[in-house]
Amino acid sequence: MTKLLIATTNEGKFKEIKHLLNDLPFEFISLGDLENIPEEPVEDKPDIEGNAILKARYYGEKTGLISLADDSGIFVDALDGWPGVISARIADSSTGRWQQILDKLEGVPEERRGASFKACLALYDPDRKQVQLTYGETEGKILRESIEPANGFGYDPIFHVDEVGKAYAEMTVQEKNNCSHRGRALGKMKHILDNQYGGKHIVVPYGIIANNGKLLICKRNDPANPDFHGRWELPGGVLEFGETMKENVVRELLEETNYKIEVLEKIDNIHITEREYPGTKLQIVLIPFVCKVIEKNGDFNDAEIMEMKWIEPDEYINFDYIGENKKIFDEIMPEIKRIMKENNL
């Protein structure tokens, strides 16, 4: 399983992030899980975005792991946005940090105690040399005194979220993730991680073209993929949004073979296979359709096919096929022969 480094030694932050991303196909590790923790980088950027990028890229390059880093800050209205980007560095302890804000706001009325928490998440993939960012913000107010006893960490004991009616420190992990600045940024980042690294399901209807007692097989032209290049398969392609499976088969077979076909029957033998690529896994659902030729419109598409061959049904065993094609032929050949006989193909 792919490792995702959550670039923090803060156990509370690690717990929050892992809780929200836990159903993704990663092994989550923190900096504390590393045998040799890299020396911390100097966070000297003027905004939270710059520091998040700095940390994600630094730890990704140091460890070779996909790295997720965040930077966040609390921006207090009555203090002109202070402490903002330096929120984590105004004191050595969480208590010392939030106590400074309470001291500075002593005597400030309720209506002027507004504040917002802002977060930026940076995802860095050292193989792709790519940084992706998401943002989150939550508005609230600074309490007059800290919540005791307190859950959470950092400024959680003094930051109250009006829309929830609780301070961060009074919330469960789930409640906080639902409304917090980091939770909102994580929700967007989860979508990115799932799209780029999560398993995906694709449907591939494919055609078994029969004509004059023979079946059509195609030799793949795919020099960038040596596992497929120069090997035989049945023609077909990925089902596109908005089209039916029959429409897909007609379109794909015309594009690849230049045969205009009519779909006769779907064979009730759905085959599911998996393929892994760098950073992602595909689950492919293969669905067979027996077809007959209506007319031929020209030569095959040589960008996808090296060669086409018409074979006797029992000749199929003599060819080197891509992936599951041979197994599929083994399973469905009796049905193919039945449909060919019934339709005088």
Number of Cβ atoms within 10 Å of the Cβ of 326? 16
Amino acid (one-letter) located at 338: R
User: Which of left, alpha, beta for 44 (phi over 0: left; psi -120 to 50: alpha)?
Assistant: alpha
- What CA–CA distance (Å, rounded) separates 215 from 107? 86
Is 71 an annotated catalytic residue? yes
Q: Phi and psi at residue 137, in whole multiples of 5°?
A: -145, 140
Eight-class DSSP state of 236: B
- Rounded distance, CA 129 to CA 131, Å? 7
Local structure of 211: helix, strand or coil = strand
Distance, CA of 304 to CA of 258 (rounded, Å): 12
Q: Who contacts 129 (Cβ-Cβ below 8 Å, separation ≥6)? A: none
> Considering 70, 71, 125, 156, which one is annotated as catalytic?
71
| Active-site amino acid positions | 71
